[in-house]
Structure 1
Amino acid sequence: MESNITTIERTGASQYGIGAASARLVEAVLRDERAVLPVAAYSSRYKVTLSLSSVLGAGGVQQMHEPIVTPEEHRALAESAKDLRAAAKRAIAIGTTT
């Protein structure tokens, strides 16, 4: 699969790259490839959806791979997850009042 920048240079547009990436994800699921791909999925550890390298197969995301990070980077990731949870709660609250 070519990179998005290669697609843009060849076609002058990026929507083909989006289609190619989507097709790749579908292919990994349908063929039960257990391929490691960057996808967003719910993390039970952080209790929020994060985009991490994950094993993708017929059952969807089968395993998430956390990056190897320093303790400081881990704290920053945990804080970001906390901020995302808070933002989601605010969005849900707004949606229930309309």
Structure 2
Amino acid sequence: MFRIELKPEAIKQLKKIKRFYAVQILDSIQKHLSVNPDQPSPPRIKILRGRQRSTYRLREGDYRIFYDIERITVYVTAILHKRETLNYYLEEDD
């Protein structure tokens, strides 16, 4: 089992999401990232290529959960609505 840790920015983003969706997102994080979070399972888990801040992306409905893995810990770095993901990618080029 992997340990899951939400970074402060991800917690801040999660608090802005309606409670109904936030609960779904947290359930999905627990279900999919506690066991084999590094195994791609299209379309849910994707390995990101290029210069992204996070190495992996988990899809949950209209939301995207970005995360990194270090040993047995999954670090959730961002939780964004799908329409915000382009800006997230563009910000890293600055």
Is the radius of gyration larger for structure 1 or structure 2? 1
The TM-score, its normalising length taken from structure 1, stands at 0.29
- Relative contact order higher in (CA < 8 Å, ≥ 6 apart): 2
More strand by share: 2
